[in-house]
Amino acid sequence: MYKRLPDVAGTARAVDITIDGQVFAAREGDTVAAALLAAGYDACRTTPVTDAPRGPYCLMGVCFDCLAVIDGRPNQQTCLIPVRAGMRIERQQGAAAFGPGAAGAP
């Protein structure tokens, strides 16, 4: 649960993204991790080993807990990627999926 400081709210353009299919107005300049937290999602995935929920932890690219699926690509470090208009973010369940039949497969 995160809130935007009053001084900061409304000082940048809104950027439309979807999280698990739902549309959110993210703030331009936010990383995807920040956008997830601002939208009320403190968990962005479940682990491949035990299905445990995890969310961003270090916010600087070293913990690899902030992983989510971005535009069909799994295991993206959301704390390193800025939001973009039209970006599709999905919380990742377990291991990344590739191969015939996986969403977003080439």
Partner 1 sequence: MAREHDIAVIGGGLVGSALAYGLARLGRRVALLDEGDVAYRASRGNFGLVWVQGKGLGLAPYGGWTQRSVRRFPELAALLCEDAGVDVALEQPGGFHLCLSAAELAHRADQLARLVAQPGFERYAFDVVDRGALARRLPGIGPQVAGATYCRLDGHLNPLRLFRALHAAFLARGGSYRPNAKVEAIAREGGAFTVRTAAGRIEAGQVVLAAGLGNAPLAPQVGLRAAVRPQRGMVVVLERVRRFLDYPLSTLRQTDEGTVLIGDSQEEAGFDDTLSTAVLATLASRAVQVFPFLRNARVNRTWAALRVMSPDGFPIYEQSALAPGAFVVTCHSGVTLAAAHALDLAPRIADGDLGADLSAFTSERLNVQKAA
Partner 2 sequence: MTLPQRCDVVVVGAGPAGLAAALECARAGAATVLLDEQAGPGGQIYRGITVTPMRKREVLGADYWHGATLVTALQGSAVDYVPGASVFAVTRADGGAFEVGVSCDGAAALLQAGQVILATGALERPFPVPGWTLPGVITAGAAQILMKSAGLVPEAPVVLAGTGPLLYLVAAQFARVGAAIDCLLDTTPSGRLGEVLPHAAAFLTSPYVAKGLALLREARASTRIVRGVERLEALGTGRLAAVRYAVGSRTTEIPARALLLHQGVVPNINLSNAIGCEHRWDDRGLCFTPVVDAWGATSVAGITVAGDGAGIAGAQAAEGRGTLAGLHALAALGRIGAAERDARAAGATAQVARWLRGRSFVDALYRPADAFRLPAGDTIVCRCEEITAQQVIATAKLGCPGPNQLKSFLRCGMGPCQGRLCGLTVTELIARERGVPPAEVGYYRLRFPVKPITLGELASLPQTSASTQAVVRMKAH
By CB under 8 A, name the binding residues for partner 1.
48, 73, 75, 94-100, 102, 105-106
99 binds, among partner 1, partner 2, none (CB under 5 to 8 A by kind): partner 1
Nearest approach, Cβ of residue 57 and partner 2 (Å): 5
State how far the Cα of 80 lies from the Cα of 83, in Å rounded to an integer.
10
Of partner 1, partner 2, none, which one sits near residue 103, judging by CB under 5 to 8 A according to partner kind? none
Contacts with partner 2 by CB under 8 A: the residue count is 39
Single-letter amino acid, residue 39: A
Taking phi first (over 0 means left), then psi (-120 to 50 degrees means alpha), and beta for anything else, what does residue 95 get? beta
Q: How far is the CB of 106 from partner 1 (least distance, A)?
A: 6
Closest alpha carbon to 90 in 73, 65, 68, 106: 68
Q: Kindly tell me which of 33 and 37 has the beta carbon lying closer to partner 1.
A: 33
Comparing CA positions, the residue from 29, 49, 91 lying closest to residue 66 is: 91
Asked if 26 and 81 touch (Cβ cutoff 8 Å), the reply is no
What's the rounded Cα separation, in Å, for the pair 45 and 67? 7
Please report, as ranges, the residues that interact with partner 2 according to CB under 8 A. Answer: 1-5, 7-9, 11-12, 27, 29-31, 34, 37-38, 42-43, 47, 49-50, 52-65, 75, 80, 82
